Structure 1
């Protein structure tokens, strides 16, 4: 049987984004915003370009997303003290609360996705996804 891995992966990715957006949408962050907030929660005060690189986002897309997150009160943008052209992002208190709420959503989604699979099967899926990312970046 020929697998349609690319099609299935792209379809699954869109479904995951829609699922997260539906549950985080009221907060104003959505799936992409949650990714930014998770990164900031793990790494602290970070250059905008570094967040974009970590998430595989384009500079223009990252800039727009950061502006929306700032407008929503989730992050503060400040010039980098060493390079005035660079922008740093910092979580606000509202951003920290949004991270906690988004973590609950992601935990629920992980449980939903893992349902009906053994740990061994999930290990294969995780290995395949990780290897796919390594090969293509």
Structure 2
């Protein structure tokens, strides 16, 4: 049995939508040039005294090496710092700077604008369905839906 035409392309459409959203966010990166991935790190650090690179990688569903490189770039921009983990002398924690907190607030505004654009014309029930579906997609490989991004 063949799937209806719209469902056969769902994965392709999902990948294309993800790229479009990243390009939209990256195009509005602001003065600190914090793109979608950098904003994810800053959102994760919001309200925390620090986080390990591994913890951030798990939250972003990314590799430790990829996140480490991203943290290097954010550090060079003055948005985060690496510091010794007070609970583990061998460990390192990543902490947001004041500039990083300001950049996170700016990125939250960008996401709020994007969410308004994406949800315009949809009913709350339709958006609940989309949310449920996206959460299911995130769990397809045993992953848990991300909770770091602001609820905008």
Q: What is the TM-score of this pair, normalised by structure 1?
A: 0.93
Q: Does 1:101 align with 2:111?
A: no
Give the aligned partner of residue 67 of structure 2.
Answer: 62
Q: How large is the RMSD of aligned CA atoms in angstroms?
A: 1.3
Q: Does 1:124 align with 2:129?
A: yes
Return the structure number with greater helix share. Answer: 1
Aligned pairs (5 A) from 1:1-137: 1-2=4-5, 3=7, 4-24=9-29, 26-136=31-141, 137=143
Tell me the distance in 2 between the aligned counterparts of 1:20 and 1:85. 36
- Residue correspondences, number: 137
Tell me the distance in 2 between the aligned counterparts of 1:14 and 1:42. 28
Any runs of at least 4 consecutive aligned residues in structure 1 with deviations exceeding 6 A, and if so which?
A: none
Q: CA deviation at 1:87?
A: 2.0
Q: Which of 79-88 and 111-120 deviates more?
A: 79-88
Tell me if the contact between 1:48 and 1:86 (Cα under 8 Å) persists in the aligned partners.
no
